[in-house]
Structure 1
Amino acid sequence: MVINLDKEWFELVIEAKELGISITEIREFFKRKVYQNTEVIALCTTFNKNEQGYKEWREKNSNGFVFNHFGNTDSAKQMNKIHRANCTYLKRSKDEGKRTHPYEKICSTNLESLKEHLNIPWTYCKKCI
């Protein structure tokens, strides 16, 4: 699992841990929609060659969103889709064991954060969104 954190975020998490704040408390903080009138933007998590991590994320975030990233070639651009995490297309048995390889999944609990994270052409899944 790869989580893209800049140095400032990394240092903040380390500092919180040193103050005795648990990872669970940190996660709960970031799951809140608003904190002191400031919107907290959900982070995106990338799964590349990590079937178990991706499966666990989808189970824990069934209301989240998944970007099925096939690449940036002309043919792949048409297949780059954003799905709801509970989309049946993402659960096809024929894809078992190869959902995050060779194509990565970029996931977020916040659709706007996911869209802002993407810098390649994509479309919504017509089945679930």
Structure 2
Amino acid sequence: MGINEIIMYIMMFFMLIAAVDRILSQFGGSARFLGKFGKSIEGSGGQFEEGFMAMGALGLAMVGMTALAPVLAHVLGPVIIPVYEMLGANPSMFAGTLLACDMGGFFLAKELAGGDVAAWLYSGLILGR
């Protein structure tokens, strides 16, 4: 077991505590149920809920950029392709400089590669980090 797994288990433990607090807050709070043990985890469930509420905005931004990648290729292609070909580079290399691979860089590289699968995969998966 490496340090990464240990950190993940610690994070999961505290996430479980927050989830239990959030569930118990629906039934009168953790002090009501855990008060007989002299313990309370009151308040951590609010942060748990905030994390889930943030997922919508984050997911919308990421999906939007991924969906926008073909449009970017269509708009930027006439400018980027001649410049990169003049320099002797594959135009798909531009994608990694603009977007991360999980934010649409992979699909932008695919659109700009022009059939060169090796350049597309290299730019989309490795350069866009």
Q: Quick check: TM above 0.5?
A: no
Structure number with higher strand proportion: 1
- The higher-RCO structure (CA 8 Å, 6+ apart) is 1
The structure with more helix, counted as a fraction of residues? 2
State the TM-score, normalizing by the size of structure 2: 0.22
The alignment's TM-score, normalised by the length of structure 1, stands at 0.22
